[in-house]
Amino acid sequence: MAKIGFIGTGIMGKPMAENLQKAGHQLFLSTHHDPAPADLLAAGAIALANPKEVAQEAEFIIVMVPDTPHVEDVLFRSAGIAEGVGPNKVVIDMSSISPSATKTFAEKIKATGAAYLDAPVSGGEVGARAASLSIMVGGCEQAFARALPLFQAMGKNITRVGGNGDGQTAKVANQIIVALNIQAVAEALLFAAKNGADPAKVREALMGGFAGSKILEVHGERMIKGTFDPGFRISLHQKDLNLALAGARELGLNLPNTANAQQVFSTCAAIGGSNWDHSALIKGLEHMANFNIRSE
Residues assigned a catalytic role: 171
Cβ proximity of 201 and 235 under 8 Å: no
For 261-295, give the DSSP string: HHHHHHHHHHTT-TTSBGGGHHHHHHHHHT--SS-
Cβ proximity of 81 and 51 under 8 Å: yes
From the number of C-beta atoms within 10 Å of its C-beta (0-12, 13-18, 19+), residue 81 rates as buried
- Interacting residues of 171 by C-beta distance below 8 A, sequence separation 6+: 96, 120, 121, 122, 136, 240
Task: For residue 36, give the DSSP letter.
Answer: P
Task: For residue 25, give the DSSP letter.
Answer: -
The separation between CA 162 and the C-alpha centre of its own chain, rounded to angstroms, equals 19
What whole-number distance in Å separates Cα of residue 36 and Cα of residue 45? 9
